[in-house]
Amino acid sequence: MTTDAQASRIVRDAFSRHPLSWIDALPWVAVAGLYFAAGTYLPLGTQVMIAIIFALALDLALGFGGIATLGHAAFFGLGAYAAGLYALDISTEPISGLVAAGLVGGIGGLIAGPLVLRTRGLTLVMLTLAVATLLHELANSFKSVTGGADGLFGYKIAPVFGIFSFDLAGRTAYWYGAAVMAVVFFLCKALVNSPFGLAVRGIRENQVRMRMLGVPVISRLVMLYAISGALAAVAGGLSAQVTKLVGLDSLTFTLSGNVLVMLILGGTGSLYGAFLGATLFVVLSDRAAAVDPFNWLFAVGIVLILAVRYAPQGLVGLIEQLAARAGWGRGRA
């Protein structure tokens, strides 16, 4: 039974605005601070930012639109291959390369969306998985374009704005990644606060009711899916430009699963979860994988089970609860 108070809280949670607050400054303070503290771990910082962008993209689809997908690596991979091929064949200019990657991802979302989003539940999950696996096989088969198992490599990326060339220590890559992350984050923020963002959150809560209110449910979801796909592709493109290598692993089920784990650990539907989850996951997996990848998998498995059971709102949810208990912050709980 839901009481009136509970019901109004649910509604408030579902449609609360996500205004800019002092919290939004934290990631950028951290980015600036880490630049001086990270030393040789600077490239890892860039990897974290790529993962955050990817997780933000997934949060749009999953956290705000309620689209359960097991195949978001499809878009990451599309973007990575697009950026790699763009650098090889068209131009080595980085920013237009990212735009191209985003466009390819968005078009991919517009094509796959109408097919996938007609279905619900397990069929939807299966189709997202099948589409991603399909792309993986395609990339594996068309070796003349994608390089097959060897991947794409040997391309150069021109300096950003023609000034900042990519250095071996990864300083330019770090700031470049931070800038892209900032653009993506504020885009997401604007999107979830827009009427469009409210409409997709409504669809997440109750599709039937939204349809009765006259909202074109499927086309709204397709639009969201395409935007999410475009941003995931930007993450992939960024990865391709920074590491100067695109492999088949950018399309795997493992990658789709990892980004989902990051987002779930961090918390869905708040955009902040992507920052917390991706940072924790990438840093810990880097350390643990160096020691023993299988123990890491064991830990991820256990944490995943416990997190779904005891912290369905992820780290963001836990922090909000603590904040509410301490009696400060917005105290949503």
Partner 1 sequence: MKLTATALALMVDGVAYAMILFLMSVGLTITLGVMRIANLAHCGFAMIGGYLGFMLVSKAGFGVILALIVSAAGTMVLGAALERTVYRWVYTTGELGQILMTIGLAFVMIASVNLVYGNDMHALPLPSSLTENMNFGAVSISAYRIFIIVVSTVIAGVLWAILEYTDYGARLRAAVDNPRMARCVGIDVPRMFSATFAGGCGLAGAAGFLGSPFLPLEPFYALEYLVPILMVVAVGGLGSLKGSFLAALLLGVVDTLGRYYVPALGAFVIYLAVCALLLWRPQGVFARGGA
Where along the sequence are the contacts to partner 1 (CB under 8 A)? 62, 68, 70, 115, 118-119, 121-123, 125-127, 129-131, 133-134, 137-138, 140-141, 253-254, 257, 260-261, 264, 294-295, 297-298, 300-305, 307-309, 312
Q: Give the nearer residue to partner 1 in terms of CB position, either 20 or 302.
A: 302
Residue type at 62? L
Q: Considering the complex, what minimum distance in angstroms separates the CB of residue 131 from partner 1?
A: 7
Report the distance separating Cα 101 and Cα 297, nearest Å: 31
Residue whose token pair is 């003349």: 144
Q: Give the nearer residue to partner 1 in terms of CB position, either 125 or 179.
A: 125
Query: Which distant-in-sequence residues (6+ apart) come within 8 Å of 295 by Cβ?
Result: 288
> How is residue 297 written in tokens?
């998998």
Q: Considering the complex, what minimum distance in angstroms separates the CB of residue 127 from partner 1?
A: 6
Query: Which distant-in-sequence residues (6+ apart) come within 8 Å of 309 by Cβ?
Result: none
Q: Considering the complex, what minimum distance in angstroms separates the CB of residue 254 from partner 1?
A: 8
For 245, phi and psi rounded to 5 degrees? -155, 135
Contact 267, 317 (CB under 8 A): yes
Q: Considering the complex, what minimum distance in angstroms separates the CB of residue 142 from partner 1?
A: 9
Q: Considering the complex, what minimum distance in angstroms separates the CB of residue 244 from partner 1?
A: 27
> How is residue 277 written in tokens?
């989850």
Q: Considering the complex, what minimum distance in angstroms separates the CB of residue 30 from partner 1?
A: 27
Q: Give the nearer residue to partner 1 in terms of CB position, either 260 or 271.
A: 260
Residue whose token pair is 């990865």: 239
Report the distance separating Cα 235 and Cα 238, nearest Å: 5
Q: Looking at the DSSP assignment, which residues form a beta bridge with residue 152?
A: 246
Q: Give the nearer residue to partner 1 in terms of CB position, either 16 or 295.
A: 295
Q: Considering the complex, what minimum distance in angstroms separates the CB of residue 175 from partner 1?
A: 34
> How is residue 284 written in tokens?
């810990």
Q: Give the nearer residue to partner 1 in terms of CB position, either 138 or 322.
A: 138
Report the distance separating Cα 2 and Cα 37, nearest Å: 49
Considering only CA atoms, which of 245, 294, 131 is closest in space to residue 123?
131
Q: Give the nearer residue to partner 1 in terms of CB position, either 32 or 297.
A: 297
Contact 31, 178 (CB under 8 A): yes
**In this structure, how many other beta carbons lie within 10 angstroms of the beta carbon of residue 159?**
14
Q: Give the nearer residue to partner 1 in terms of CB position, either 240 or 261.
A: 261
Q: Considering the complex, what minimum distance in angstroms separates the CB of residue 125 from partner 1?
A: 7
Report the distance separating Cα 44 and Cα 38, nearest Å: 9
